[in-house]
Amino acid sequence: MTDPRRRVPRTDVVLADPRLADAAGRLGRAAVKAAVAGAQQRARAGELPPGEVADAAVRALPATAGGLATVLNATGVILHTNLGRAALSTAAREAIQAAAGHTDVELDLHTGLRARRGRGALNALRDAVPDAADVHVVNNGAAALVLAATALAAGKEIIVSRGEMVEIGDGFRLPELLESTGARLREVGTTNRTSVEDYEKTISPDTGFILKVHPSNFVVTGFTGEAAVEDLATLRVPVVADIGSGLLKPDSLLPGEPDATTSLRKGASLVTASGDKLLGGPQAGLILGDATLIERLRRHPLARALRVDKLTLAALQATLTGPETPTWQALRIDGRELKERTRRAADRLAEAGVEVTLVASKAVVGGGGAPGIELPSWSLSLPQTYGVFLRTTAPIVVGRVSRDRLLLDLRCVPPESDDQVVAAVREAARACTS
């Protein structure tokens, strides 16, 4: 038998394939060459018959010329920060596409005069939370806090419980962020217990506001106590509630998760939240509440530096007014249906000779939401060694490793992509066993 290296087709030969020539026009020559080089590499390693190099290169092409790879999220983590948190709804994707050119983002087409930027998204947010007298949108949840701290408490104090001095992730610590604005933090209470009196005795003419932070990625249990927003609201200083997740109304599926409507009804002056967590929208920081305070935030010079892009505004509006988002579809998925989908995928893989089992697993909300809530789920259990191939060959599938097995949870995979997962796993099995 001839050395397979000899028989791997040359780059110019592969690039002459009409599908690849066409892709070079859309994606640029570099992207296509990279896909071809990867396929040649696999053929040289004996993982791919030389005659299939062009086919493999076509499959490995990125969907767009953009720099980010499209990923099928089989981690069972609905809001995976490393995968970009919320997957946008079709409505939001279409809105982004439509807004990509020139838009009326700051123009009233009837009068021909300048208009409030992003008023469509702002109105949609106000309609979604009628308890908010006004709303403002910035770049992300952290920006919302920075703007509130800068506009309302620079040179003054923010009173916050020692139990709420949290780190959100990747070294992002809320206290450090707040202090970077020039506000001083006044810590009160203890890690596990803080009372209204702890706050009350700290209030002075120097107080900017009281901050209530939802510890969105851990739970404290045992001998605990915290002051309720409704009690803090009686202390005659503004209460800013950082609820984190962006839940706008209470939801019985996530009973412990604070929401904007309830926080405002209980007397919070302002609520801050993220757009790309449980709201299921684009990265954004939502600020809702008292009209006078929001006006101060909006007029602060820093607001200009934190303002959002037209694409974000378009996606946010579509998220707020459109159908159920993929985030909520994944949360509410029917367990039997998920098991059935997973079993079908397992059967097809087993028929193809892949070493696979169907296992019960646990999914989580992730991304700083609903800590401690586990959603019963189902997964394909596969040899761990498939992981690298699945992460690096299109269609990209990211799973998670548990007890030396690679688990693929289809909860966050759109059902129409199940076939792609099956095909990818078959390829991985072939590549990893040859």
Ligand X SMILES: *Cc1c(COP(=O)(O)O)cnc(C)c1O
- Quote the least distance from Cβ 333 to ligand X, whole Å: 23
Binding mask 320-359 for ligand X (x = CB under 6 A): ----------------------------------------
- Quote the least distance from Cβ 150 to ligand X, whole Å: 15
Which CB, 89 or 216, lies closer to ligand X?
216
- Quote the least distance from Cβ 94 to ligand X, whole Å: 24
User: Which residue stretch of 41-49, 52-60, 208-216, 358-366 sits at the interface with ligand X (rule: CB under 6 A)?
Assistant: 208-216
Which CB, 88 or 421, lies closer to ligand X?
88
Which CB, 39 or 77, lies closer to ligand X?
77
CA pseudo-torsion sign 167, 168, 172, 177? negative
d(CA 221, CA 244): 20
- Quote the least distance from Cβ 211 to ligand X, whole Å: 10
**Does 17 interact with ligand X (rule: CB under 6 A)?**
no
Q: Which residue minimizes CB distance to ligand X?
A: 141
Number of chain positions touching ligand X (CB under 6 A) = 12
Angle between helices 119-128 and 310-321 (to 10 degrees): 30
- Quote the least distance from Cβ 111 to ligand X, whole Å: 35
Q: For tokens 């809001």, what's the residue?
A: 79
- Quote the least distance from Cβ 140 to ligand X, whole Å: 3
Instruction: Kindly list the distances between the CA atom of residue 285 and the CA atoms of 117, 304, 306, 320, in Å, as whole numbers in the listed order.
Output: 15, 14, 9, 14
* Residue 193, beta-bridge partner list: 225
Which CB, 80 or 405, lies closer to ligand X?
80
- Quote the least distance from Cβ 373 to ligand X, whole Å: 14
Which CB, 371 or 383, lies closer to ligand X?
371
- Judged by CB under 6 A, the residue of 73, 89, 181, 216 near ligand X is 216
Of the candidates 55, 23, 18, which has an alpha carbon nearest to the alpha carbon of residue 39? 55
- Judged by CB under 6 A, the residue of 163, 244, 282, 326 near ligand X is 244
- Judged by CB under 6 A, the residue of 8, 78, 151, 168 near ligand X is 168
User: Which residue stretch of 10-18, 117-125, 213-221, 425-433 sits at the interface with ligand X (rule: CB under 6 A)?
Assistant: 213-221
Which CB, 244 or 280, lies closer to ligand X?
244
- Judged by CB under 6 A, the residue of 42, 136, 212, 214 near ligand X is 214
Which CB, 36 or 142, lies closer to ligand X?
142
- Judged by CB under 6 A, the residue of 242, 257, 259, 427 near ligand X is 242
- Quote the least distance from Cβ 137 to ligand X, whole Å: 12
Sheet with 239-244, side-by-side order of all strands: 134-138, 285-289, 270-274, 239-244, 207-213, 157-161, 184-188
Instruction: Kindly list the distances between the CA atom of residue 225 and the CA atoms of 6, 163, 189, 257, in Å, as whole numbers in the listed order.
Output: 72, 9, 10, 17
Which CB, 285 or 395, lies closer to ligand X?
285
d(CA 79, CA 222): 28
d(CA 285, CA 133): 17
Of the candidates 376, 375, 356, 355, which has an alpha carbon nearest to the alpha carbon of residue 366? 375
**Does 142 interact with ligand X (rule: CB under 6 A)?**
yes
Binding mask 76-105 for ligand X (x = CB under 6 A): ------------------------------
Binding mask 112-141 for ligand X (x = CB under 6 A): ----------------------------xx
Of the candidates 184, 74, 125, 62, which has an alpha carbon nearest to the alpha carbon of residue 315? 125
- What is the DSSP code string of 323-384? S--HHHHHHH--HHHHHHHHHHHHHHHHHTT---EEEEEEEE--SSSSTT-EEEEEEEEEET
Which parts of 260-299 interact with ligand X (CB under 6 A)?
274, 285
d(CA 376, CA 364): 9
Which parts of 357-416 interact with ligand X (CB under 6 A)?
368
- What is the DSSP code string of 9-49? PPHHHHHTSHHHHHHHHHH-HHHHHHHHHHHHHHHHTTSS-
- What is the DSSP code string of 202-221? T--TTEEEEEEE--TT----
**Does 213 interact with ligand X (rule: CB under 6 A)?**
yes
Which CB, 216 or 342, lies closer to ligand X?
216
- Quote the least distance from Cβ 167 to ligand X, whole Å: 10
Note the residue count of the chain: 434
Q: How many Cβ atoms sit within 10 Å of the Cβ of residue 122?
A: 19
**44: exposed, middle or buried (C-beta count within 10 Å: 0-12, 13-18, 19+)?**
middle
Could you list the residues that contact ligand X (CB under 6 A)?
Answer: 140-142, 168, 213-214, 216, 242, 244, 274, 285, 368
